[in-house]
Amino acid sequence: MPHPLPELIIMAHILVKFGGGLITDKSQLKVINQEAITELSVLTHYLIENGHQITIVHGAGSFGHLKAKKWQISEGHISDIEKEQFVAVAAIRQDMRELNSYITQELKIQGVESISFPPSNWARGIGPNFKGSLADIANCMPNIVAITFGDVVDCEEPRKFGILSGDDLMVRLAKEIDGITHCIFLLGDTEGLLTAPPSHPNSKLVPKWSRNLAINGEHNTSEDVTGGIFLKLESAAEITQVVPNVWFLDGRKPNRVKELIETGHTKGTQIVP
């Protein structure tokens, strides 16, 4: 049975990013965080049962970044290691489908029907201006969850291939799907944007952020090949042009998503124009 919601609630269309550091252990090759995937699937079921529509983008975590880093996939084609790169491209694409399958399987267990759209099948080029139609994702039925994810895609010569980030997908989806009310980035190691890296003893939560505020972040290049928190912030700032509610939330505490949707407020960082 659907959970009762306050009468003031307007049904939402939520575009949500499951961060790679949330659904996997980014330091270990191809290790999922099953607890997080289960909790996110339960959350998705709850939201759908209460009349909301969900579109999911998920990151790669240890299913993409480690091999991509080893073989410099984000730099495109390199003649000296061409053979190894093409092997890695095929392997990463397969690994991403495997990671995606863990999510779709858990959603099914929770009673949620989903359809996945691997970008290597339909997208070309990198960055938010990549080529490829989002129509199939945009036109998904409200009770079916459309899922896509960061992936290695084909590019024009001389690059040949590159990494299409889930954050860039979020920007395009936010702009091209009519009626998105909330865009939520779920993080794996922090409550939102902090005044300093999470490891810093004096770091504090930034409750509201816009482009005119400087950040003191760090990008872990040993594990992340797509720009880390800096790309996420730039993407989120771009999304504020078209979506009224853009947030960074702690994905380890999914009840905060419920609180945000049902009350308009929660603990996290709101990204504003």
pLDDT in tens, 123-148: 999 999 999 999 999 999 999 999 99
Residue 8 lies in a domain: no
pLDDT tens-digit readout, 94-108? 999 999 999 999 999
Total Cβ atoms within 10 A of residue 163: 26
User: pLDDT per residue over 50-86, tens digit each?
Assistant: 999 999 999 999 999 889 999 999 999 999 999 999 9
Query: Which tens digits make up the pLDDT trace of 235-249?
Result: 999 999 999 999 999
User: What does the pLDDT read at residue 217?
Assistant: 56
* pLDDT tens, residue by residue, 70-79: 999 999 999 9
Residue 56 within a domain: yes
d(CA 117, CA 151): 11
Q: Give the total number of structural domains in the chain.
A: 1
Query: pLDDT value at position 216?
Result: 65
High-pLDDT (> 90) share of the chain, %? 83
Residue 4 counted as domain residue: no
pLDDT of residue 7: 44
Query: Reading across the β-sheet that carries 269-271, which strands appear in turn?
Result: 113-116, 144-149, 53-58, 13-18, 182-187, 245-250, 269-271, 208-209
Stretch 20-42: mean pLDDT: 95
Say if 1 falls within a structural domain.
no
Is residue 2 one of the residues assigned to a domain?
no
pLDDT for 221 equals 47
Residue 223: C-alpha distances to residues 3, 15, 114, 116, 154 (Å): 39, 25, 29, 25, 22
CATH number of the CATH domain containing 71: 3.40.1160.10
Chain mean pLDDT for the chain: 92
pLDDT tens figures, 157-169 = 999 999 999 999 9
Residue 101 lies in a domain: yes
Identify the domain containing residue 221 by its residue range. Answer: 13-271
Which two tokens mark 240?
A: 């504020």
* Per-position DSSP letters for the chain, written without gaps between them: -PPP--TTPPP-EEEEEE-HHHHB-TTSTT-B-HHHHHHHHHHHHHHHHTT-EEEEEE--GGGTHHHHHHTTGGG---GGGHHHHHHHHHHHHHHHHHHHHHHHHHHHHTT-EEEE--HHHH-BSSSTT-B---HHHHT--TTEEEEEE-EEEE--TTT-EEEE-HHHHHHHHHHHSTT--EEEEEESSSSS-BSS-TTSTT--B-SEE-TTS-------TTT-SS-HHHHHHHHHHHHTTT-SEEEEEETT-THHHHHHHHHS--SSEEE--
Tokens of 250: 């702690």
Is residue 26 in some structural domain?
Answer: yes
pLDDT score recorded for residue 228: 75
